């Protein structure tokens, strides 16, 4: 019976995330989870806790990541392998459960209302960095539909925002528990109320001081090329691209990931250069071949020059096959060749002292790998992607909302161009200024207004120190209290 309860709780938890955003459920799920784990502290063995929490994780991930099966159905050759996606679900569930069980055991003196947000946040971090890393799972996503709450990402960053969200969801547990929680309420006020006040003040100041100092006319092209459409030949694709370039009067033209239909084995690209008007800049995704290596690249083209950025964070089992010599039976999924990791810096300079941070596909979810000392002053981010692989509903929207939280977290506008959608212009607060619809062929014109804005990592660091200090003091207090 307990297994079924945890499984259902996991399934319901996934409904807090995009595209659902059933946020009131959080105030039921998490207090109930607090109650269950608090009652089981003395009665349940570690093995039972691990089992129960494994089913919670499985229920959550099978619903949240159900779209992962979709890439297997793009081509006939891979349909029979679709159950492989369950391996990822099981692995993530076991990691979540193991982290939960260890923290649950070590934190026996800490009130459950603090312990559960800690469990989830540490699990989120470990899943983000373990092995190759999969930071798709973050509770910061549950506020990504609310443009005001997104401001928390700007000040607190991803992990602290996740902690605060779960902590707030746990608050009703105080009302249903029989334990007196005066001290807990004091710590909660320090953890939540003070940062919230600072958040409100900072948000108001940001709106008053957010002056635009530059602008750029851009046009986004969502071509909606289907990966498995054999009638859409490379020649037809190129003609569509050339036609769109000829018709555009924008300063900056942006196409999606791998929209260029031929492998680029040199950087001449004469046909694209000749299609551009004076002072126009073209950005398009392509596969680049150099020195026997293939690269997933963002190509930046003007009439006089071409430069590029090669994707650094590749998709395992998508763009490369780990242990290829031992896993040859999976070549029908990945293909006969691996892509190689790019080695260049993540910055492209345009004219007029304008620069942007290039991000390809799901690199956008790796929040700690995108900003560095060389690019943090860049004016905006361009994220090209092809979400055709992600299906028609859950996956593309999760990817889109993950991009929204990056815009707020980095305090930079993001121009997102997806081959099949959702393409969008997002401001530095995570607000969507203009967007397309999923699986439509669309053009989107927009005048991007921006100013010289730095990232907010200095604030993130301050709040990391703040929350870490409060957390250590909480552990110290309850350890001494229970020792007396």
Q: Is the dihedral of CA 192, 193, 195, 196 positive or negative?
A: positive
- Computed on alpha carbons and rounded to an integer, the radius of gyration of the chain in Å comes to 24
pTM of the model: 0.91
- Residue indicated by tokens 């070590």: 106
Is residue 171 predicted with pLDDT exceeding 70?
yes
Alpha carbon separation from 10 to 54, 125, 328 (Å, rounded): 10, 19, 35
**Lowest mean per-residue pLDDT among 94-98, 152-156, 158-162, 300-304:** 152-156
- The string of pLDDT tens digits covering residues 57-93 is 999 999 999 998 888 877 777 778 788 889 999 999 9
Rounded to a whole number, what is the distance in angstroms from the first to the last CA of the chain? Answer: 37
- The string of pLDDT tens digits covering residues 419-477 is 998 999 999 889 999 999 999 999 999 999 887 666 666 666 666 677 777 667 666 66
CATH class of 214-451: alpha beta
Longest dimension (CA), the chain: 80
Domain boundaries, the chain: 2-208+460-483, 214-451
């Amino acid at each position: 019976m307990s297994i079924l309860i945890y499984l259902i709780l996991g399934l319901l938890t996934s409904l807090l995330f995009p595209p659902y955003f059933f946020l009131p459920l959080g105030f039921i799920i998490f207090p109930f989870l607090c109650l269950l784990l608090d009652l089981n502290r003395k009665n349940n063995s570690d093995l039972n806790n691990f089992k129960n929490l494994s089913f919670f994780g499985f229920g959550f991930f099978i619903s949240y990541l159900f779209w992962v099966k979709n890439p297997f159905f793009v081509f006939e050759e891979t349909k029979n392998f679709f159950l492989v996606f369950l391996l990822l679900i099981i692995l993530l569930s076991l990691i979540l459960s193991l982290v939960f069980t260890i923290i649950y055991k070590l934190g026996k003196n800490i009130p459950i209302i603090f312990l559960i947000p800690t469990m989830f946040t540490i699990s989120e971090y470990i899943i983000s960095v373990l092995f190759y890393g999969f930071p798709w799972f973050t509770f910061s996503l549950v506020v990504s539909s609310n443009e005001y709450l997104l401001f928390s990402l700007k000040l607190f960053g991803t992990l602290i925002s996740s902690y605060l969200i779960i902590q707030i969801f746990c608050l009703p547990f105080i009302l249903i528990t029989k334990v007196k929680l005066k001290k807990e309420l004091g710590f909660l006020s320090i953890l939540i109320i003070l940062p919230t006040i600072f958040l409100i003040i900072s948000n108001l100041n940001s709106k008053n001081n957010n002056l635009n100092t530059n602008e750029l006319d851009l046009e986004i092209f969502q071509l909606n090329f289907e990966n498995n459409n054999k009638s859409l030949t490379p020649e037809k694709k190129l003609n569509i691209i050339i036609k769109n370039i000829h018709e555009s009067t924008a300063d900056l033209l942006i196409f999606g990931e791998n929209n260029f239909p031929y492998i680029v084995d040199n950087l001449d690209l004469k046909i694209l250069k000749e299609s551009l008007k004076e002072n126009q800049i073209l950005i398009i995704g392509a596969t680049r071949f150099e020195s026997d290596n293939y690269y997933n690249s963002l190509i930046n083209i003007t009439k006089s020059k071409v430069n590029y950025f090669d994707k650094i964070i590749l998709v395992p089992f998508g763009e490369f096959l780990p242990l290829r010599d031992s896993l040859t039976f999976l070549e029908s999924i990945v293909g006969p060749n691996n892509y190689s990791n790019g080695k260049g810096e993540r910055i492209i300079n345009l004219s007029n002292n304008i620069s942007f941070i290039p991000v390809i596909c799901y690199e956008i979810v790796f929040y700690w790998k995108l900003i560095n000392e060389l690019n943090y002053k860049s004016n905006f981010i361009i994220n090209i992607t092809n979400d055709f692989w992600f299906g028609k509903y859950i996956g593309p929207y999760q990817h889109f909302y993950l991009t929204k939280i990056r815009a707020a977290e980095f305090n930079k506008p993001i121009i997102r161009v997806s081959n099949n959608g959702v393409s969008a212009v997002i401001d530095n607060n995570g607000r969507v200024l203009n967007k397309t619809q999923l699986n439509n062929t669309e053009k989107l014109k927009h005048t991007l207004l921006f100013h010289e804005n730095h990232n907010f990592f200095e604030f993130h660091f301050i709040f990391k120190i703040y929350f870490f200090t409060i957390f250590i003091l909480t552990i110290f207090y309850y350890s001494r209290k229970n020792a007396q």
